[in-house]
Structure 1
Amino acid sequence: MAVLSDDDVDAVLPELDGWERSDGALRRSVEFPAFLDGIDAVRRVAERAEAADHHPDIDIRWRTVTFALVTHSEGGITDKDVAMAREIDGLLG
């Protein structure tokens, strides 16, 4: 799987809800109304990620959850990361 160019990533970002390219990954932070709402969202994302065998890095800070997507084995952002970002968008609404 090929790493996407910066131009390719920039072209798809407007289609993704709240994602940005940062430090070589796609990143999105979401603030939830309560801590457990964020934990529930992480669980739902984890189930989809496991099914796809493509796992985001997830950082939980009280009510804010940050998802970071990069295909480590390829050394950059790939179509798998864009697809998972879309999955996460669908789960979070």
Structure 2
Amino acid sequence: MAVRGRVGPAGGRPSDPGRADTLSALSIRRSLVLMAALDGWDVSDEALTKTYEFDDFRAAMAFMSRAAERIDALDHHPEWTNVYNRVTVRLSSHDVGRVTERDERLAEVLDECADAETAAPGIDTFGHDPAAVRCWGVENGLLDDEAAPLQQETFTAYHEAAQGPR
């Protein structure tokens, strides 16, 4: 993977637009650390990019919906596109023209949202989003925390609360 970027005054913009872009040793080290920390992300000074692939369109849209609330809470929004079962994400802090800690944190949040996509095999989800069930389970005392495994009882209770008894 090529690591590209530019060196210049604040914001990473070159002071002389005619000169060739180069990377500082610090920039290269930071990019290598990010590549190790952010699994599956392509890293450059300008942006972090990743394509998530899901089982189908519905799962891809559920991921985007799951992520929306957390994205708003961070007040840092991605460039993203959806084509059937794929969501391609590009993260960059446009105000400074480079990748910042805000982008790194958002990448971690998106990975967490993608990982929360599925329930264990054999559990009837009743068509509900596991991430929504997990949050509801924590709020209603059925789960100790968001890392607790989802059980059939949690999905059943959520379904009955949302839809009425089965």
Under a length normalisation based on structure 2, what TM-score does the superposition of the two structures give?
0.51
- CA displacement, residues 47-93 of structure 1 (integer Å, 9 cap, x when unaligned): 11111100011111111101111001111100110111111111111
Structure in which a larger fraction of residues adopt strand: 1
- Report the number of matched residues: 93
| Map of 2:105 onto structure 1 | 83
Q: What are the ranges of 5 or more consecutive residues in structure 1 without an aligned counterpart?
A: none
Under a length normalisation based on structure 1, what TM-score does the superposition of the two structures give?
0.87
Distance 1:23 1:33 in 2: 31
Structure in which a larger fraction of residues adopt helix: 1
Which secondary structure does the structure 2 equivalent of 1:46 belong to? helix
Q: Does 1:33 align with 2:62?
A: no
Q: Which structure has the larger Rg over C-alpha atoms?
A: 2
| Map of 2:66 onto structure 1 | 44
Q: Cα distance, 1:17 vs. partner?
A: 2.0
Q: Cα distance, 1:6 vs. partner?
A: 4.1
Q: Does 1:54 align with 2:76?
A: yes
Quick one: percent identity of the two aligned structures? 34
* RMSD of Structure 2 on Structure 1 (CA): 2.2
Residue type of the partner of 2:50? R
The structure 1 residue matched to 2:94, chosen from 65, 68, 72, is 72
